[in-house]
Amino acid sequence: MTALGIIAGGGRLPLAVARSAQEAGRAVFVVGLRGAADEALETFPHAWVSLGEVRKLLTLLRDRHCEDVLFAGRVARPRFADIKTDSKGLLLLPRIVAAARKGDDALLRAIADVLTEEGFRMVGIAEAAPGLLAGEGPLGRIQPDADHCADMDRAVTVVRRLGELDVGQAAIVCDGLVLAVEAAEGTDAMIDRVAQLPETIRGTPSRRRGVLVKALKPLQDGKTDLPVMGVATVKKAAAAGLAGIAVEAGRSLVVDRAAVIAAADASGLFVMGFAPSSRST
């Protein structure tokens, strides 16, 4: 089997993917995006590129005998004027700029298209590291009650509707009221601002209320940007007084599962995977 090429953006996800694939017996080669990826990736076979160095990226992946390639981790929309490009990157730049104007997903899809045209097979994290996928049901010892389930349903509806517009992946609902919806600021910032809302409309660490839901956008194919839950998500949700976090089973990733469960149990939050079919209206 050939090596798995991992194009690594920010956050802990690329490392978790590399570790999971390696544990399953697969060789990995990690290409870190300069300015985004964590230096900890240097514990794996690796190289660094800038987002515009497309020829260098292609050459690296070929030299290391990668046929399967995936994206993992956060990629901030670049300032195009500042991108370091090589000849191939320069050729592709107009197409990528045009895609980027439509949203971050469109940008990643455009780069994936280039790799596919060059003969690589784009694979999803779900395929390459299935051990990271969220399953159905509670992960820790805390279970949602009927109110939490109602909030979860409403949040799923909001997230799906927004996803259709390529807006964001997450929303927080408390007692039927939509407290926050994610757009360009990202999930962490969205959770933080719920902690700033009046306590009349949200939960507190001593009386937890409200649910965070993350789900894949319908436009996403699951190869570029699966929703992620990690320890940082749990800690922020705990600080914002939420009762729990629900991600879509089979289409969301749990990074550092044991630590996620420990953090949730310690704070009294539920963390769970909801069935894709059962909670969409």
Return the residues of window 196-215 that contact a copy of itself according to CB under 8 A. Answer: 196-201
- Rounded distance between C-alpha atoms, residue 223 and residue 230, angstroms: 19
Does 40 participate in binding a copy of itself (rule CB under 8 A)? no
- Rounded distance between C-alpha atoms, residue 164 and residue 192, angstroms: 25
Cβ proximity of 72 and 125 under 8 Å: yes
- Compare residues 55 and 214 and give the one whose CB is closer to a copy of itself: 214
Which candidate, 141, 144, 166, 133, places its Cα nearest to that of 279?
144
Does 140 participate in binding a copy of itself (rule CB under 8 A)? no
Does 37 participate in binding a copy of itself (rule CB under 8 A)? no
Q: Which of 157, 250, 262, 268 binds a copy of itself (CB under 8 A)?
A: 157
Return the residues of window 67-86 that contact a copy of itself according to CB under 8 A. Answer: 76-79
Instruction: Take residue 73 and report the two structure tokens written for it.
Output: 């981790």
In the bound complex, what is the minimum distance in angstroms from residue 155's beta carbon to a copy of itself? 11
Q: Which of 86, 113, 118, 166 binds a copy of itself (CB under 8 A)?
A: 166
Does 25 participate in binding a copy of itself (rule CB under 8 A)? no
- Compare residues 63 and 185 and give the one whose CB is closer to a copy of itself: 185
| Dihedral angle sign, alpha carbons of residues 249, 186, 90, 86 | negative
Alpha helices in 195-256 (DSSP H): 231-239
In the bound complex, what is the minimum distance in angstroms from residue 258's beta carbon to a copy of itself? 33
- Residue found by looking up tokens 């107009």 in the block: 94
Does 22 participate in binding a copy of itself (rule CB under 8 A)? no
- Compare residues 98 and 259 and give the one whose CB is closer to a copy of itself: 98
Does 280 participate in binding a copy of itself (rule CB under 8 A)? no
Which range in 65-73, 86-94, 180-188, 224-232 contacts a copy of itself by CB under 8 A?
A: 180-188
Does 219 participate in binding a copy of itself (rule CB under 8 A)? no
Burial 19-58 (b: 16+ CB within 10 A, else e): bbbeeeebebbbbbbeebbbeebeebebbbbbbbbbbbbb
User: What is the total count of residues that contact a copy of itself (CB under 8 A)?
Assistant: 37
Q: How many CB atoms lie within 10 A of CB 68?
A: 19
Instruction: Take residue 179 and report the two structure tokens written for it.
Output: 């407290």
Instruction: Take residue 65 and report the two structure tokens written for it.
Output: 């005998």
Hey, which bits of 12-52 come out as E strands?
28-33, 46-49
In the bound complex, what is the minimum distance in angstroms from residue 220's beta carbon to a copy of itself? 15
Does 142 participate in binding a copy of itself (rule CB under 8 A)? no
Does 237 participate in binding a copy of itself (rule CB under 8 A)? no
Give the footprint of a copy of itself on this chain (CB under 8 A).
Answer: 76-79, 101-104, 157-158, 161-162, 164-168, 171, 175-185, 189, 193, 196-201
